[in-house]
């Protein structure tokens, strides 16, 4: 089996989602042959976009604010529209997580 590249693309307003992202990354890294990268969707660089384009899997994470994803995550989702239109990520595995508190 060849190496697997995983990107965890997340936003964390108060640190709780970042804690979950760390746990997800630790779990993924425990599997032999995985390479895990974390990117903050609120401040993506060209290199971050390249990591996601090259990844085998992207795991998305966002806090839940007022019943929906954070504004930063919504902006990220909208920024992926070109990739969606060209189906650039169509052969990737995807997963997601969120958290909420009241």
Q: Phi, psi at residue 90, to the nearest 5°?
A: -65, -25
pLDDT of residue 1: 60
Domains annotated for the chain, with CATH where assigned, are 4-99 (3.40.50.360)
pLDDT in tens, the chain (102 residues): 689 999 999 999 999 999 999 999 999 999 999 999 999 999 999 999 999 999 999 999 999 999 999 999 999 999 999 999 999 999 999 999 999 976
Rounded to whole angstroms, what are the CA distances from 63 to 19, 38, 88?
Answer: 11, 16, 26
pLDDT of residue 102: 62
């Amino acid at each position: 089996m060849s190496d697997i590249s995983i990107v965890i693309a997340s936003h964390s307003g108060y640190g709780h989602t970042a804690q979950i992202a760390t746990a997800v990354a630790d779990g993924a890294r425990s599997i032999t042959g995985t390479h895990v990268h974390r990117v903050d969707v609120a401040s993506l660089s060209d290199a971050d976009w390249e990591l996601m384009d090259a990844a085998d899997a992207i795991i998305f994470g966002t806090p839940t604010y007022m019943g929906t994803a954070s504004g930063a995550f919504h902006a990220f989702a909208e920024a992926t529209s070109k990739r969606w239109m060209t189906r650039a990520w169509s052969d990737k595995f995807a997963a997601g997580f969120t958290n909420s508190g009241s």
